[in-house]
Copies of this chain bind each other. A is one copy, B any other.
Amino acid sequence: MTDPAWLDEREQRAWRGFLAVNAAVRSRIARQLQQETGLSSADYAVLVSLSEAPGGRLRVFQLRVAADWEKTRLTHQITRMTSRGLVAREPCVDDPRGAFVVLTEAGWDAITGAAPLHVAHVRRWFFDALRPEQVEALLDLNDTVLGHLREADRTMGVPCPPCDVPSSCDDVLP
């Protein structure tokens, strides 16, 4: 192991590049999507998660786990999207303190219109640059780091997600 108090030159480059690439790709895609559809990346992520759920409906905490967001962030996001007519809140009969979020007609239109554009941007700014073995390496790196984080959460007190939810997906999709 090298000196743990600092990063060596390779690690430095790898870390800064890791941040720079992600920020650059995301900002390009977010800006274009915003201009073309009026949707932010956060809007898009919520719409995708809901559109992948049966009936376009999800409990708030399911959406929270699916997107790996903080509770309050999601509450505010839903409030704003409700005021724009993209989603709607519905009370939950089983659990009086629970609530559903449902895709509206306008929400369906928004996500079906935005998804092809978003895919095109992801291709253009990301996958068009990558060779197949680089995609493979990325998959490996993702699994490794996410597994590492989950393992750390597990050995500390963090419990498993409270409910069965498809998969973790942050920010921009698909």
Contact = CB atoms under 8 A, between A and B. Distances in A.
Interface of A: 4-7, 10-26, 28, 68, 116, 119-120, 122-131, 134-135, 137-149, 152, 167-174
A63 to B, nearest CB: 15
Contacts of A172: 19
How many copies make up the complex? 2
A134 B129 contact: no
Contacts of A28: 149
Nearest to A5: B116
A164 B174 CA distance: 37
A28 to B, nearest CB: 7
Contacts of A19: 22, 26, 169-173
Nearest to A4: B123
A48 to B, nearest CB: 10
